[in-house]
Amino acid sequence: MNTPNETTRRDFIKTSALAGTAIAASPFLAPQAKSAEVRLKGDKIRIGHIGCGSVSGSYLPVMTKHPKVEVVSVCDIIPERAKKRAEQFKVPNVYPNIDEMLAGAEFDFLINTTSMPSHYPVNKKALEAGKHVWSEKPMALEVSKGQELIALAKQKGVGFWAAPNCVTSPQFEFMAKTIASGRIGKVTAAHGTYGHGGPTWSAWFYQKGGGSLYDLGVYNVTTLTGLLGPVTEVVGMTDKVYDTRKVDDKGVIKVESDENTMLIMRHQSGVLSHVQTGFGYFDGERLAGERKLYSMDVMGTKGVMHLQGWDWSSAGVDLAYEGEAVLETQCKDAWKYEWVGGAAYVCDRLLDGQPSLITPEHGLHVLDVMNACHESQATGQRVKCQTVFPWPLIKAA
Ligand SMILES: NC(=O)c1ccc[n+]([C@@H]2O[C@H](COP(=O)([O-])OP(=O)(O)OC[C@H]3O[C@@H](n4cnc5c(N)ncnc54)[C@H](O)[C@@H]3O)[C@@H](O)[C@H]2O)c1
């Protein structure tokens, strides 16, 4: 017999589904509020992981070590990749497509690390089958498709979230609380940057549905909207750097997606912010000594903040403000989840019943902003955003 704090697997699946409902169906739920009573003892969340390419090699070590998670299946349309991951991480079941995985060994939670054009169809099938879903970014390629997935998750009573997870870092929390405290005055402007020479392994990064904004700029758009709130309008310019690229899976291919991108956002709060991202950046620079690259700057009327390192792997926040005008490094705390821990983070929220800082509405808004940038490039116009998300994510201390 179960004590009040113990659940059978069937009870757990029922209560965790309710938690998913609470999170997904309450877009205006304050993150501080408790979302649902979900407790688990002596049982695990069963994971099906689809997409066994590059990033699965970073996800699987995290998920297979998680004490309350059991990775039951791996799947890839290139079956050798799934077999290799199964052997590497001792996963018992291997499938060549989503349909066979859904019809095979039971699982509760899908991790989707397929290529971007496959995100929507794979997410849709898993949600239709009543699975909780963690998707790599973006959740879909079109805003209407993302809206459809969020509605489907609500209808099925399951959780749905998309990477990245940078709003769960201690440095994000520190910056959000610093802004809310008024210490740097009225925030007027912000800047984020993330780029490198471009992935070398898969062609889809350079084809329709790929590109540096969806792959890299997405981190900065998530952090800046997370800190400064929803965006009302966007101006963007994108460009290619090369006509062709040589990649491991397809040889020489034509470049069709953005490799050099500038995105300007006007936030509802009145702040103007900017993201610079690309696949055409020299990435061999090395910084001497303790100095760390700043990837993000937030400017206020009474102070400034600079984020050390990338927003998905930060070493601290340098802060200066009126009365303390010398930059000093704050918040050097290690991040429990790191960039690859988004799925572990939402599993933990399903298990402890606490609301997630990562919400599907935020992921959808980020997609809306990125697509507005592409539309601005295509039309030469300033483009209005169609969506909002529950904000602020973190309130003042
Ligand atoms: N590689 C990284 O370091 C990294 C880091 C963070 C996020 N991401 C994100 O993770 C996702 C995957 O990136 P990647 O670098 O691992 O790509 P990848 O090309 O190495 O791997 C993608 C895998 O998905 C498989 N796949 C595609 N469609 C499928 C389908 N319908 N069903 C089953 N399998 C399918 C492919 O065969 C491939 O093995 C992307 O959204 C990317 O932006 C990658």
Compute the distance between CA of residue 144 and CA of residue 206 in angstroms, rounded to an integer: 23
Instruction: Count CA atoms within 13 Å of residue 25 on its CB side.
Output: 15
Q: Confirm or reject: Cβ of 117 under 6 Å from ligand 1.
A: no
Mutate to test the pocket of ligand 1, among 62, 75, 101, 113 (most ligand atoms within 8 A of CB): 113
* pLDDT, tens only, 295-350: 999 999 999 999 999 999 998 999 999 999 999 999 999 999 999 999 999 999 99
Per-residue tokens: 333: 């705390």
Q: Confirm or reject: Cβ of 217 under 6 Å from ligand 1.
A: no
Q: Using the predicted structure, report yes or no on whether residue 26 has a pLDDT greater than 50.
A: no
Mutate to test the pocket of ligand 1, among 49, 81, 115, 245 (most ligand atoms within 8 A of CB): 115
116: CA distance to ligand 1 center in Å?
7
Residue 397 pLDDT: 66
Residue 290 pLDDT: 65
132: CA distance to ligand 1 center in Å?
19
At 195, the pLDDT band (50, 70, 90 cuts) reads: very high
Strands 260-267 and 231-239: antiparallel
Residue 83 burial (C-beta neighbours within 10 Å; 0-12, 13-18, 19+): middle
Q: Confirm or reject: Cβ of 113 under 6 Å from ligand 1.
A: yes
- Residue 78, CA distances (Å) to 19, 82, 103, 119 in order: 34, 7, 18, 16
Q: Confirm or reject: Cβ of 79 under 6 Å from ligand 1.
A: no
Residues 206-211 have a mean pLDDT of 98
Q: Confirm or reject: Cβ of 114 under 6 Å from ligand 1.
A: yes
Q: Confirm or reject: Cβ of 77 under 6 Å from ligand 1.
A: yes
Higher pLDDT, 101 or 19: 101
Residue 291 pLDDT: 67
Average pLDDT in the chain: 89
What percent of the chain clears pLDDT 90, i.e. is strictly above it?
Answer: 85
Q: Using the predicted structure, report yes or no on whether residue 193 has a pLDDT greater than 90.
A: yes
pTM of the predicted model as reported, rounded to 2 decimal places: 0.91
Among protein residues, the one whose CA lies closest to atom 10 of ligand 1: 113
Higher pLDDT, 7 or 260: 260
Among protein residues, the one whose CA lies closest to atom 40 of ligand 1: 115
Q: Using the predicted structure, report yes or no on whether residue 377 has a pLDDT greater than 80.
A: yes
Residue 284 pLDDT: 77
Among protein residues, the one whose CA lies closest to atom 39 of ligand 1: 53
Residue 283 pLDDT: 83
Q: Using the predicted structure, report yes or no on whether residue 12 has a pLDDT greater than 90.
A: no
Q: Confirm or reject: Cβ of 122 under 6 Å from ligand 1.
A: yes
Residue 117 Cα: closest atom of ligand 1: 28
* pLDDT, tens only, 172-184: 999 999 999 999 9
State how far Cα 94 lies from the chain centre.
26
Instruction: Count CA atoms within 13 Å of residue 42 on its CB side.
Output: 10
Q: Using the predicted structure, report yes or no on whether residue 364 has a pLDDT greater than 50.
A: yes
* Main-chain dihedrals φ then ψ at residue 295, nearest 5 degrees: -105, -10
Q: Confirm or reject: Cβ of 51 under 6 Å from ligand 1.
A: yes
At 14, the pLDDT band (50, 70, 90 cuts) reads: very low
Hey, what amino acid is at 67?
A: P
* pLDDT, tens only, 31-62: 332 333 333 444 799 999 999 999 999 999 99
Q: Using the predicted structure, report yes or no on whether residue 15 has a pLDDT greater than 90.
A: no
Q: Confirm or reject: Cβ of 330 under 6 Å from ligand 1.
A: no
Residue 81 Cα: closest atom of ligand 1: 39
Residues 83-92 have a mean pLDDT of 98
269: CA distance to ligand 1 center in Å?
35
Residue 41 burial (C-beta neighbours within 10 Å; 0-12, 13-18, 19+): exposed
Residues 63-73 have a mean pLDDT of 97
Residue 395 pLDDT: 80
Compute the distance between CA of residue 276 and CA of residue 213 in angstroms, rounded to an integer: 9
Q: Using the predicted structure, report yes or no on whether residue 65 has a pLDDT greater than 70.
A: yes
137: CA distance to ligand 1 center in Å?
10
